[in-house]
Amino acid sequence: MLNFEEAAASPARSRNWVRSVIDRLRFIARDDPEWSGIVEDCILPGPTRKSLHLAVFVEPFLSLLMAGKKTVESRFSQNGCAPFEEVSPGDVVLIKRAGDGIVAIAHVSCVRHLTRQGDWNVIRSQYERQLCAMDDAFWTDISEADYASLIWFDRLTAIQSIECEKRDRRGWVVIKRATDQLLLEFE
């Protein structure tokens, strides 16, 4: 879940930014019964069927998402890293402004995970407006990607900014993974 290099450099700091974000998120969500329940489903200790993610957004995509103009989020990669096959319907995504704090929380309604079969022109023709990616530069930037995740949110709420001490370069972090397995504790 946490980046190995980050954890090796400062194990306490790595755990602390996650714990701090979860504590603050729980505090912010407490006044909204629906969000409170959704958040608790993701962060309770032990098995859960929902994951909690942190996604870093740059402008103009963050503003377009918050304004409701960007209706599909996409992540392309060459190596199939998160969120590829990591994010699922029902998961919660914390929306972080690049170089700043977490500014929104979103609930995932639908996901499509794709591998390249030729080029991305089919995705472009179907989704460029929903992705707010009509600029050729976007498609040039992702032209070497072999994996894609398209993500729809059915609920997106701006929140009071949560400071986030994440320092690595990942644009997507799985904070807590869903699992159906029971955890066994050994003494």
The 10s digit of each residue's pLDDT in 172-185 is 999 999 885 554 45
Q: Given this model, what pLDDT does residue 39 score?
A: 92
Q: N- to C-terminal Cα distance for the chain? A: 24
**DSSP 8-state class, residue 6:** H
Give the domain 4-170 fold.
2.30.130
Contact 93, 106 (CB under 8 A): yes
The count of C-alpha atoms lying within 13 angstroms of the C-alpha of 53, restricted to the half-sphere facing its C-beta, is 26
Burial 143-168 (b: 16+ CB within 10 A, else e): eebebbbbbbbeebbebeebebebee
pLDDT tens digits, one per residue of 86-140: 999 999 999 999 999 999 999 999 999 999 877 899 999 999 999 999 999 999 9
127-179: pLDDT as tens digits: 999 999 999 999 999 999 999 999 999 999 999 999 999 989 999 999 999 88
pLDDT of residue 121: 93
pLDDT at 64: 98
Q: Is 72 exposed, middle or buried (0-12, 13-18, 19+ CB in 10 A)?
A: buried
Q: What is the pLDDT of residue 84?
A: 98
Percentage of the chain lying above the pLDDT 70 cut: 88
What is this structure's pTM?
A: 0.87
> Which sequence spans correspond to the domains of the chain?
4-170
Q: Which residues contact 144 (CB under 8 A, 6 or more apart)?
A: 78
Query: pLDDT value at position 111?
Result: 98
Cα(49)–Cα(31) distance, integer angstroms: 23
pLDDT digits (tens, 9 = 90+) for 35-46: 999 999 888 877
